[in-house]
Amino acid sequence: MILDLARLFLFPALMAFAAASDLFTMTIPNRVSLLLIAGFFVLAGFGGMPLEQIGLHAAAGLTVLVVAFACFAFGWIGGGDAKVAAAVGLWFGFPPLTNYLLYASLIGGALTLLLLEFRRWPLPYALGSQDWLERLHRKETGIPYGIALALGALIIYPETDWIKAVDLTRFIGQ
């Protein structure tokens, strides 16, 4: 039951925290990525994931890490975004990874267009006292792409083996 609860709540909670942190502070703390990595290995171990499959998941995470840090080097995404994307790649492995990256890209594009439009208009005076909103409104501020990464991950997560392994009858009753 504890393993099922961890499968249901750990990953989504960390994704929600990453998105909120990026929205309000324009940073994603390293502890989020570290907790995602540690959570993966703990749940994979206790869940009986075969070593070969763990290796494939690790390869997916490393692949995303290399590509994401290239994007970081070009200034397209932040370092926290790159680390979170790689940690999500670790959790998802290769089959769901393509859909995740597609969703995150589409959501990120939409978020970027919305923020660019939001920044074209003056910030209402009543909202100007909100530091996070004023920072988000500044034209020179980047895009909190962690929101798109988290939303893409939360869309895909229910389709993964992590959720398919949960015995929901324990929670619903018999």
Q: Phi and psi for 11 in degrees, rounded to 5?
A: -60, -50
Rounded to whole angstroms, the Cα distance separating 138 from 136 reads: 6
Q: Domain total for the chain?
A: 1
Distance of CA 128 to CAs 31, 84, 134, 147, Å? Answer: 30, 30, 6, 22
Where in the sequence is the domain holding 10, given as residue range(s)? 2-172
**Mean pLDDT computed over 30-34:** 97
Average pLDDT, the chain: 93
* pLDDT tens-digit readout, 59-118: 999 999 999 999 999 988 999 999 999 999 999 999 999 999 999 999 999 999 999 999
> Is the CB of residue 11 less than 8 Å from the CB of residue 36?
yes
pLDDT at 2: 86
Taking phi over 0 as left and psi of -120 to 50 as alpha, with beta for the rest, 114 belongs to alpha
What pTM was computed for the model?
0.91
Q: pLDDT at position 13, please?
A: 98
How many Cα atoms sit within 13 Å of 3 on the Cβ side?
A: 14
- Condensed to tens digits (0 to 9), the pLDDT of residues 79-95 reads 999 999 999 999 999 99
| 35-59 pLDDT, tens digit each | 999 999 999 999 999 999 999 999 9
Residue 162 has pLDDT above 70, yes or no: yes
Q: Residue length, the chain? A: 174
- Residue 125 confidence class, pLDDT cut points 50, 70, 90: confident
